[in-house]
A and B are shown apart, each in its own frame.
Chain A
Amino acid sequence: MLLAYAQLSLQAFASIFAPLFGQRGWRLSALFKQMVNIGVASMPTVALANFLLGIVLAMQGAGQFEKLGATDLVAALVTFSILREIGPLITAVIVIGRSGSSITAELGTMKVEEEIEALDVMGIDPVKYLVVPRLLAMLLMMPVLTVLGEGVGLFAGWLISVTSLHLDPIFYIHNATAAVEQKDLWTGLLKALMFGGVVGTVCCFYGMQVEGGAEGVGKATTKAVVTSLTAMLAMDALLTTLIYFI
């Protein structure tokens, strides 16, 4: 199982770079279609989730810091946690639920309907034709969505602080920028990229593995979502350890 997953992932990454070595490559049009499916269509949900979390963070923070008489720290808390952790994480969760599951279901249905076998017989490599555009779209769109989500989340934090917590709007921004470094932004994006790779490979793998009709598709989709979530969190823990504690 793990071996088959590794094999598919390796093959997919190799196929991504195949055009560089003069081999017949994947199609740009297929990639764009998937970028729209996976990325553009997820934007409203990602924005909404991040917006709500931005609000929640600011209010929770304010509740705690008020006791210490340090509501100014809200800006630091919101910015710091969204860029480093919450933004990439919640975006990945949304993408897994929305796009990851649909990748598995779509590929799985193609598998049970013998479409993948048909590709094979036509001499069209299903990995190159189906997996590569989806994986690449995940790799590209996860950071893009994360940036979008972080932007919305930060704005929500500012908005709530200024309107309900009566913090000074300019002072908030000053505090916020002082609290984080550029590194925080980059590590967040690195996380997003890695999450995209994990989610893309896991969901494609489960889709290509499907056996046993509609029931099989359902089971595989559930497994893909659970495994993606777990693997994504494990990856998060690992990256956080590597980046901030070593």
Chain B
Amino acid sequence: MQINERTEDNIPIVSIVGDIDLESSPKLRAFLKPKSSQKTPRLLLDFAQVTYIDSSGLATLIEYFQAVQGFGGKLALSSLTPRVKNVFEIVRLEQIFSLHPDIPSALAALKA
């Protein structure tokens, strides 16, 4: 798994590439930790190139989402492949995460 970050309109866009599994989710967690301690107000996670996410990956996102709610920030996820989206849906996480078909719509939601 690889993590690439860029900024657009002051919003960090984080592209994750590859599998988010037991082996790589600690890396994602380590990446998100400073984001939550800095209280990053808005964050976009681009899932376009995420090939797979397991439960530990979901748990890592939930943990970050809990922190975001704590400091009143915003988190959006974009461009999930159908298979990855299914993983969210099985545990009904699509109801708490803000999932968007592409980056522009996710950015729009974060700015709203």
Do A and B touch (CB < 8 Å)?
no
